[in-house]
A and B are shown apart, each in its own frame.
Chain A
C-alpha cells in the first residue's frame, strides 16, 4: 500500500498540470468552468477547443496563476497552488510561457525589448540574451523590425512578437490563446512548427483555438470545452 502511494506521488509530481473538479466564476456571476478535471503530461501537445465564450481563456488564466479557482484542486509542476506560498508563485509563473489573445505588448518598448522582457525579469543580462532574441525575431520573420514599436506593426506582426516573447525563455509549459488568429496561413504554419519544435525539445504545449484547420497540422490530443465542461475528444491523434 505504501509502495503504491509512493508511485502515485511520483506520478503526480511529474504531471505538469492537474485539474480536479475545478470550478470558476467571477464574483457572484455564472459559473464559467464546471467540474473541470484533466492533466497534462510532460512533453505533451494539446489543443483546447470550444466555441467563443466556452471558457478557454479562463482555463488558461487558471493555469497561468492569473486567477484563483472558485473551487477544486489545481497542481502546477507538482505543486498544489492552494497550499503554495504566494511568494513562490513568480517562480512558477516564469516556467509558463503565455501567448495572450490580445498580445499585451508594451507599446513604449521596441520589438526587441518586448521579446526580451521575460529574460530581463529572470535577471539575465543584455549581452547574454541579445543574440537569442535577435535570432528568434528572425525566425518569426521580424529580423528587420527589431527596433519597431508595436503600434507601428500590423496585427500579425504583433502576434508574432507575442509568441516570440512567450517562448524566448524556453518555458516548461507554453499556453497560447488563439496564437494564429491574426496571421496568414504561411506564417501560421511557421508558428505551429515553432510550437512543435519547442514541444520536441521538451516543452509542454497547450493551445486554445477555434481554428479546426490547426488541428490537422499537428498530431495532438484535443480537449473541448462545452458550456464550461471539459470533454476529452481524443487522447492522442497519431
Chain B
C-alpha cells in the first residue's frame, strides 16, 4: 500500500472525502476534501490523515497541561495554559470540600507567577476550561526550565510510543514534562537543559522533515 505524503496550504484539495467522519482540520465540499491549515497530508488508499504545522491549542478533556497562574480571587486561580481561553482551578480542588475563603488563603498554595501541572476536567464551547491538580504528579512546578513549543508539534516531540522524548532525556540526562498545550518543563543539570532545549527548538523548526530522528541524534551526540 503506497502512502502519498504532500505539503499542503489552506484550501488545497487532498482527494475524495472518505465515508464517515472526515479528518480534523479538513472540510468537505461535495465529495472533495479540502485542508484548513498549512500541514502535511497523508493519503493511503481511502484513508486520509492531515497533520497541521501551526495553530492554537484547543483544550480537550483529560489533556495534561502546564500553566502559569496569572490571577487569583476568593474562589479560583486563573491559569494561562497557552490557549485562547484562560483556565480556572477551583479552590475546592486544592483545599477540599471544607474550603472557606476566611480560613484558607489561596496565595499560600499558588501565587501569581507559579507554574503548575494540571489536567483539564471540563471544557466545552460555552465555558472556559476547568482544571484539577488532585491526581498524582500534578501540582506546583518547583524546578526546571520552561520551554514553549507550537502545540501542533507536541506529538512529534513525544514520538511513537514516547521514543523521541526518551532519546532526548537519555542523551541529555534530563527529564521532560510535556504538556499537550505546548509548554514543556526541562529538569536536570544545566548542560543537559541547554542541550535538551536545542533539541526541542530543532523539532519546532523541522517537525515536517522525515529524517528528524537522525538530526536529533546527531545534535545530541555533539553535545553543548
A and B: real partners?
no
